Structure 1
Amino acid sequence: MRVLQWVSLTLFAALATAASTAEEQEQAAALQLLSSMPACGLSCLQTAIAASPCSSTDIPCSCSNATITAEVQACVLQSCSIKNQLTTQNTTDTLCQRPVRDRTKAVSYSGIIGVVIAFIAYALRMSSKMSCKGCSRLTFTSQLWWDDAVMTFAMALVIPLSILSVDLANLGLGKDIWTLPFENITAILKVYYADEDLYLSALPAIKISMCLTYLRIFDSQRFRYIVYFVIGLNLCYGIAFVLVSVFQCWPISFAWTHWHGETVGRCNNINAQGWASAAFNVILDIIVLALPMPMLWKMQLNKRKKFLVMLMFGVGGFVTVVSILRLQVLIEFGDSSNLTWHYTAVGYWSTIELHAAVVCACMPSIRNIIRRFLPRLMGSTYEESKRTGNGTGLSGPTAVNSGIGKFEPQVQVRPRSSDEENFIPLVDMDGNTIRSAAAPQTAGGSTIHTQDHSYLRPVSPM
């Protein structure tokens, strides 16, 4: 029994020593963290704890007390600089072992996956406009026009914007601002400034490309005037808001250095600027998508083609929905002090909007390339698809076959040979052509010349 008692006492002493050592280690780590806290933040923390029922060494009690947290935050906002505020916040979160939030993957994944899909749609668009003539000699013909040139310009803006989303994620966009090094915050705002200019340039360019595609498809003069007017609206939108974005702050560098309050400058109301551009963008989306609807309504399409048209414009409707969601996010975050966390949603919704817009603008051409290689899927043969545009109110190769008007019969005039100069068609009373008196018949391998004149009748002028 005495042996068991000695063993129990020894184990108890060992556990007490281990617990004491663990507690001492926690206290040592807490003291080290508190020593890195700015003096203003430490003073606010001590004052709040002294006025609470928690002891200065009871860290769990202080961390779980909402009153202490609120008092410390209010005191820090009044007595500390912005950098010291962020350091204090990071120290207290680490001390209380609060979870670290991270949405950086959403930023990078949306950029990379989206740009891959958009580039595939762009490549299909360009390949649909090219055909191989004399492939053995590598001779290609193309139907590229201004709409393709503008789309290429837009893709030249979309690709770097999407790649920069990976840099933003690596710098820390998607995390709380107080968890990041100060130089990363400045770098994020600098990249975000460039992204904003690219975004405001690419959006109207994509819409202008869509309008130019309408000019290729429809030849109604009144419709074309309306399209030119909408192109002008998009040009004005792009020029105006790009200039406003470039000169949103003065000096320009103040756009990415104003966050810490240590530099002198002035900025426009960034939130109002963002809301205005997003609202005008939604309106232009609706106008551009609604433009061809009256023309498409007049077309007589079979069910399969109607489904494809609905699919094309359904993608455009998704772009408008994304624009509205982005506008809502802009309104929600307002003047955020945690910009690297709240700007995340705006960032990936902006890239998704651009990628969806590219796909929407390329949908008619994608349909063309499907019609070329899988004509049965489109409900027509390839030869039929090459004749679209004749007498339909459409100009040039079209993305949607039309039923406006009627196709005129294709008459091919064959030159007569010398022995057919005196050819006279024979017509019975019902107006059916019988055969020529000079036309031979073949029966059983022998040639028979028909001399039956009983079927000959004068052709009635009726």
Structure 2
Amino acid sequence: MLRLIPQSSCSFTDQGCICTNVDLNLKISECVEVGCTVKESLTTKNASESACGAPVRDRTKAVSVTGIVGGALALLAVSLRLLARRPGAGGGEFGLDDWTIIGTMLLVIPLSGLSLVLANHGLGKDIWTVPFEDIMHVLYIYYFDESLYLASLALTKISILFFYLRIFPERNFRRVVYGVMACCVGYIVAFVLISVFQCRPIPFSWKRWDGEHKGTCNNINAQSWAASAINIFLDLFVIFLPMPQLAKLALSFRRKIQIMLMFGVGFFITIVSILRLKSLIEFGNTQNLTWDYVPLGYWSTVEIHVGIICSCMPALRALVRSWRPTMF
């Protein structure tokens, strides 16, 4: 800065000029990037932003509220689903689809709760305003969240597939369902292992950000895109899989509308998955991870929570019908 300011139209005492001179700030940023460590660069950026009176951005509440509210709604849906399985409640017998969604919920509870921890450690703030230790904590939690997210997605689909087995007896259809289940299990095994061993040594996954540690990592951006693309394909396959079976059923117009609404929720999940792809672009290129990871985080939690609620809708319908027979 001592060398660059005299070369500009600003003086050392003119803070306003220094803050608003685009060319000067670009040259200062380039100089800091080349000659400073990551931590020194962040410290300089924070001092510069503070001196210039830049607004402090904060969307930590979006992180915590999305996780906690979504998790609470998903837990409520699962609880009502289990209530529908009681004798006389009209929701049918307790089955493998219920056990699977319970297992999914056991993964989603910590995933939802950790959103509050992430917000407390600075997810939702610009990285230069976050203490260095908290940056590492955010990446450390994200590392474990990835595996919970990947497993929860596939388990939700497996629960829906078990529900298909509950209601559709045709042999060929059931064989296809088992095949899709195998693909979902393969998805869990493959991508959870890839996620766990994304860097070598493993702690480099959450320590690499500062440039002070040595290690190697997979192409994490490509890894995330592959997982998302395959997940969207499986979503669509699971949604369309029972369509031929449903077409064979003699249903009233009202019942068809109800089924269309349930599948509409399924399409919404796919739309959320596609919207999440946009956030992966920032995920792969960001230098401001505690700010740019936020859309990826809340789209991921919305995707999981809505998926669980969708899987519970048939049982919830039966429960509501037992209370209000004329409603459905």
TM-score (norm 1): 0.69
Shift of 1:335: 2.2
Shift of 1:143: 1.4
Of 299, 307, 318, which aligns to 1:357?
A: 307
Match of 1:212 in 2: 162
Q: Distance in 1 between matches of 2:218 and 2:20?
A: 40
Match of 1:190 in 2: 140
Q: Distance in 2 between matches of 1:261 and 1:171?
A: 20
Of 267, 271, 277, which aligns to 1:317?
A: 267
> What amino acid maps onto 1:373 in structure 2?
W
If each structure's helix is expressed as a fraction of its own residues, which one has the higher value?
A: 2
Match of 1:54 in 2: 10
Match of 1:181 in 2: 131
Of 223, 231, 236, which aligns to 1:273?
A: 223
> What amino acid maps onto 1:147 in structure 2?
D
2:26 equivalent to 1:70: yes
Percent identity between the two aligned chains? 50
TM-score (norm 2): 0.97
Shift of 1:298: 1.7
Q: Deviations over 1:259-318 (max 9, x none)?
A: 001111111111111111001000000001111111111222222211211111111111
Of 115, 120, 124, which aligns to 2:80?
A: 124
Tell me the SS of whatever aligns to 1:125. helix
> What amino acid maps onto 2:44 in structure 1?
T
Larger-Rg structure: 1
Q: Distance in 1 between matches of 2:92 and 2:262?
A: 23
Are the aligned partners of 1:104 and 1:175 in contact in 2 as well (CA < 8 Å)? Answer: yes
2:232 equivalent to 1:232: no
Shift of 1:327: 1.3
Shift of 1:132: 5.7
Match of 1:262 in 2: 212
> What amino acid maps onto 1:170 in structure 2?
N
Shift of 1:53: 1.3
Q: Deviations over 1:170-208 (max 9, x none)?
A: 111011101110000000000011111100111100000
> What amino acid maps onto 1:58 in structure 2?
D
> What amino acid maps onto 1:169 in structure 2?
A
Q: Distance in 2 between matches of 1:237 and 1:334?
A: 22
Q: Distance in 1 between matches of 2:303 and 2:4?
A: 47
2:298 equivalent to 1:348: yes
Q: Distance in 1 between matches of 2:236 and 2:307?
A: 13
Structure 1 gap segments, 5+ residues each: 1-44, 134-140, 379-462
Q: Distance in 2 between matches of 1:328 and 1:56?
A: 42
- Higher alpha-carbon deviation: 121-130 or 152-161: 121-130
Q: Deviations over 1:87-111 (max 9, x none)?
A: 0000100010111111111111100
Of 88, 101, 111, which aligns to 1:151?
A: 101
Q: Distance in 1 between matches of 2:113 and 2:198?
A: 24
Match of 1:94 in 2: 50
Tell me the SS of whatever aligns to 2:4. helix
Are the aligned partners of 2:60 and 2:125 in contact in 1 as well (CA < 8 Å)? Answer: yes
Summarize the Cα distance change of 1:142–1:362 in structure 2 as closer, same or farther, 3 Å threshold. closer
Q: Distance in 1 between matches of 2:283 and 2:158?
A: 31
Q: Distance in 2 between matches of 1:85 and 1:102?
A: 21
Tell me the SS of whatever aligns to 2:125. coil
Q: Distance in 2 between matches of 1:237 and 1:158?
A: 18
Aligned residues between the structures = 327
Q: Distance in 1 between matches of 2:282 and 2:260?
A: 33
Q: Distance in 2 between matches of 1:270 and 1:167?
A: 24
- Higher alpha-carbon deviation: 258-267 or 123-132: 123-132
4+ aligned runs moved over 2 Å, structure 1: 331-335
Structure 2 gap segments, 5+ residues each: none
